[in-house]
Chains A and B, each alone.
Chain A
Amino acid sequence: MNKPLRRVAIFCGLLVLSLLIRVNWVQFVQADELKNDTNNRRVAIERYSQPRGNIIVGGQAITGSTTNDSGDFKYKRTYKDGPMWAPVTGYASQAFGSNQLEKLNDSILSGTDDKLFFSRTVDMFTGEKQKGGDVVTTLNPKAQKAAYDGLGKSKGAVAAINPETGAILALASTPSYDPSTFAGMSDKDAKAYNALLKKNNPDDPMLNRALRQTYPPGSTFKVVTAAAALENGLYTDINAKTDSPLPWYLPDTAHQPLNNEGNIPCENASLKEALRWSCNTVFGKISADLGNKKMKAEAEKFGYNDAKIDTPVRAAESVYPTDNRPQNAMAGIGQASNRATPLQMAMITSAIANGGKLMKPYMVDKLVAPNLNVVQQHTPEAMSQPLKPENAQKLQEMMEGVVKNGTGTNGQIDGVTVGGKTGTAQHGENNKDNPYAWFISYAKTSKGTPVAVAVVIEGSDTLRGDIAGGKLAAPIAKKVMEAVLDGNK
């Protein structure tokens, strides 16, 4: 019986060997993959085992950490003025993950980033627990507060940029939410989170309207159309009469007229006058005359049709599509399928205010290690040159005219040069929904141009017509600009 016994011995040996091979496969080959699997709770336990680094605005942390009394997770995220800063910070929830800056800079905030290798190694030797680094943002707390308070109860968004650097100064979106309410993982947190979901809350408070929502830009887009006219040499003198009949009929249609809002002097109006009165006929015709290709090219120089505008939080893609002639004419006055994010409109304004050079928008100035060493510093970089400096000059003059004695007088600030453009975008099938009120503007002092801002308000019931942008959105833009100017004094 010894021969089969030896074979059985070999067989049993093979059984044990196969187990050894299997555990080597799982614990050596697959180990990293399993260890870092998103469903592996250890990842989250590890993450919340120490206080997270902070997101910093104007030298103050707008986030914090508090200890949890129960459960696996020791530390929980807290937010200061959560609803106001939510469009910037995003959320970091034990139960629902994270988004925006909390997610994009997670490795720094949780202290696992390779850039922190040195400080982590030192901590290892000194026996300190792993600590998170900080994210220093470019935001201006006063401007943010002005924007958030200005929006108040209405639905809308504000984006403000420093035209000279591209630094984002304000990023507000209403209605908002407080990320603190679901930072933990209790039933209460789950309830708070579910109540915020779009399917349970039609106002969609977790939507970051400043970056992630596109709207028809309405008349504010006329500055781009004007830029295209100047850049392409269609018109060179902003005070010379244009070839603009009234009424003007959309091309390729059976005599469908493009109407102006109200009875305004638009026939053959100069570019400056046309912008001041916001003449649909003049700018619709410019867009038609230039054609879809040139209009699209100019819009793209300002950042349209770019799906990868990362601030680092990625903005939704603003669209200026390839279109037929009547649609292109409509797009030239910011209607039809032309859609833009508030950030996009702020970028357009900043490029005009910055002498035609568009700076890449960003909101993270630097990443700081726990020992306060800077591990990454943003240097402003140019994104494109949508306008020649002299054309930028002309556009500034036109926009300043709008605020001085046009539709945007509500944006005036004493002792400061303000350029702006109002907009009221029609919205919905046959224009049945409430229009969006827009205002874009910049403020200029002797020291430079510190701020460009775009404001959009959805669904206000008050007024229709071009005046709405000036009436609803302009005061908010003004407050934001004033807040920035105050800080710069």
Chain B
Amino acid sequence: MKIDHTQPLEYSTQQNQLNILGFWIFLGAEIMLFATLFTAYFIMENRTGNGPTGPEIFEISPVLFETFILLTSSFTIGLAVHAMRIGHKKAMLAFLGITLALGVAFLSAEINEFIHYYHVGATYQTSGFTAALLTTLGTHGAHVTLGFFWGLCILIQVAKDGINPRTANKSFIFSLYWHFLDVVWIFIFSFIYLKGMM
């Protein structure tokens, strides 16, 4: 494995560069995936059948909490990558750990939100609107869940093997994924919750 020391660690082998480009293309596909979900949501937004409408079920405080947590986690994963770049393993592990903990906090808030929806009679089967809402939120939530376990695997590897071209590459790609989830959340926050509450 040839290592090019003029490049940052995560780009330092040819396979690493391929991995990163491949992942960017994958994110392109993910953008299409969420764009499709948003399209479905916008079409279903007012098709509430006999069920409740958006303004009736949305609550601002849990959503603000979720947004705050997720945005913070995007910042901490950025710090983790910075720590990785300067070769500070302990700091990197700490920030990675904080990111994942924030991910769990986000998920538990979201699960609470879903339970709330269930209690106010907005279940998956209620209407076209609730199906689209819960599928969009659920797909994002599933991505965060997957990201949590993925990040956990990487955390263990960095702890065991230290920062090397392999783990640096994985961590960097994971950070791209995590930022992407944040970007999607910003769209969810703006175009589902805020728009729905206005």
User: A and B from one assembly?
Assistant: no
B contact residues vs A (CB 8 Å cutoff): none
Residues of A within 8 A of B (CB): none
